[in-house]
Amino acid sequence: MEQPRRITDSFPRRRRRGPGRPPGRLKDKKDKDKVQLKVRDCPRAPSQPPPDPALMEMLRRFDLSWEYGPCTGITRLQRWERAQELGLSPPGPIRDALLEHRDNPDVTYRWGRDGV
């Protein structure tokens, strides 16, 4: 009698890593130098001063307020504009602050579970 097929039978088998090569390691130093060169060539974002704590608190309250809809996957300004289009009357100072600090990702995006 034939054995039943498994879902793993349709995928090619991969060799397991041997004990001499831990995962994530490069083979030789030449490859490692190439990776370091690529990292060095990347432009860095300009450093910006940290935003005002009062501003961040105001944005945190906006993030935690469910009356303006969910905030995952969009910027704070997109959320403000969506709430405005839906007639939810989001606070005007929030929009002004977001437009003023448009280049600062700490202000533009919601970071983490508790707002900032």
Each residue's pLDDT tens digit, 62-92: 999 999 998 888 999 999 999 999 999 999 9
Q: How far is the C-alpha of 97 from the C-alpha of 56, rounded, in Å?
A: 10
Whether the Cβ atoms of residue 97 and residue 58 lie closer than 8 Å to each other: yes
Q: Indicate whether this model's pTM tops 0.95.
A: no
**Is 92 a member of any domain?**
yes
Handedness of CA 94, 72, 68, 79 (dihedral sign): positive
**Is 102 a member of any domain?**
yes
pLDDT at 84: 95
Domain containing residue 97: 53-108
Within the chain, what is the greatest distance between any pair of CA atoms? Answer: 74
Angle between helices 76-85 and 92-100 (to 10 degrees): 140
Number of folded domains that form the chain: 1
**Is 27 a member of any domain?**
no
Segment 28-35 mean pLDDT: 55
**Is 17 a member of any domain?**
no
Judged by DSSP in three states, 112 sits in coil
- Pick the more confident residue, 60 or 15: 60
Q: Which two tokens mark 18?
A: 């041997």
**Is 88 a member of any domain?**
yes
**Is 90 a member of any domain?**
yes
Position 70, amino acid: P
- Looking at every residue in the chain, the average pLDDT score rounds to 77
